[in-house]
């Protein structure tokens, strides 16, 4: 019997080792997949920014081509008297000067577009996501009125035997100045069958806001909470999901930095 117990304990130990090994490999695979998803998301953001730059360039090309068709082939300055001095020096007398000038102008355009693309990617990376678990019963007639006033971006519904979970998204454009001129995207998750709000997700880009007007996560959360509480959409009139905002005075922050030095 002792031998059987020892063998059983040994088998349990081996099973535990195998389980830990599988868990470790699973965590490694999840970490790798997450890193790849982050890299793909960054690549997608750069691609979107690049397409935006190309759209601006193509719009300019189209606009000037339309103007060329309206004015004919005479819309040029080479035969103008006021341009003669410049054309003689840069083009007619010294063609190499115009070639160098063309290369310099090409480099300037490439540098400008590259900086604009980098700035666009930088702005797109400043998104702050806040998810708040609510689990509160709704007054559906008031909640439907509240949603009817919003301009829907997306609506997704998941049906099963008992529940109808709805994901409703919109952009809070009621007062851009209130959010520092950066419009937050709101997504509410609620069960239409039971009348419960499950969660609220807020996406806010701090980098898109004006200087010194960007809100913190707690401030954005509180403003959305105030709008929902003011609409009286919850059955519990005392419910709130506001967060305490901790403000630091600039003078105190400067003094603290001086003390550290």
What is the per-residue pLDDT across 94-136, written as a single tens digit (0 to 9) for each? 778 888 888 999 999 999 988 988 888 888 888 889 999 999 9
Domain extents in the chain: 1-75, 76-123, 126-230
Residue 215 DSSP label: P
Whose structure tokens read 């709805």? Answer: 166
pTM above 0.75, yes or no: no
pLDDT given for residue 59 in this prediction: 92
3-state helix, strand, coil in the chain (%, to 5): 60, 20, 25
Closest CA to 172 of 183, 162, 156: 183
pLDDT digits (tens, 9 = 90+) for 191-232: 999 999 999 999 999 988 888 888 988 999 999 999 999 999
* Higher local confidence (pLDDT), 66 or 5: 66
Q: Let me know how long the chain is.
A: 261
| pLDDT bucket at 177, cuts 50 / 70 / 90 | confident
pLDDT at residue 2 tops 80: no
154-to-129, 170, 219 alpha-carbon distances in Å: 17, 7, 25
């Amino acid at each position: 019997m002792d031998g059987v117990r020892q063998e059983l304990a040994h088998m349990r130990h081996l099973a535990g080792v195998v389980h830990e090994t599988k868990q470790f490999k699973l965590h490694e695979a999840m970490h790798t997949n997450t890193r790849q998803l982050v890299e793909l998301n960054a690549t997608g953001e750069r691609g979107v920014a690049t397409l935006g730059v190309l759209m601006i360039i193509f719009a300019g090309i189209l606009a000037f081509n339309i103007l060329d068709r309206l004015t004919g082939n005479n819309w040029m300055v080479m035969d103008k008297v006021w341009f003669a001095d410049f054309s003689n020096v840069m083009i007619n007398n010294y063609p190499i000067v115009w070639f160098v000038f063309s290369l310099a102008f090409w480099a300037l355009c490439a540098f400008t577009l590259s900086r604009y693309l980098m700035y666009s990617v930088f702005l797109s990376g400043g998104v702050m996501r806040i998810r708040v678990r609510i689990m509160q019963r709704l007054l559906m007639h008031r909640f439907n009125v509240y949603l009817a006033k919003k301009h829907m971006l997306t609506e997704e519904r998941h049906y099963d035997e008992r529940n109808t979970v709805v994901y409703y998204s919109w952009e809070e454009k009621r007062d851009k100045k209130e959010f520092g001129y950066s419009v937050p995207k709101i997504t509410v998750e609620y069960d239409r069958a039971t009348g419960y709000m499950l969660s609220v997700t807020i996406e806010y880009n701090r980098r898109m806001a004006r200087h010194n007007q960007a809100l913190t996560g707690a401030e954005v959360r509180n403003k959305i909470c105030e709008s929902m509480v003011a609409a009286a959409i919850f059955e519990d009139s005392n419910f709130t999901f506001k967060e305490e905002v901790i403000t630091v005075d600039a003078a105190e922050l400067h003094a603290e930095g001086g003390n550290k030095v």
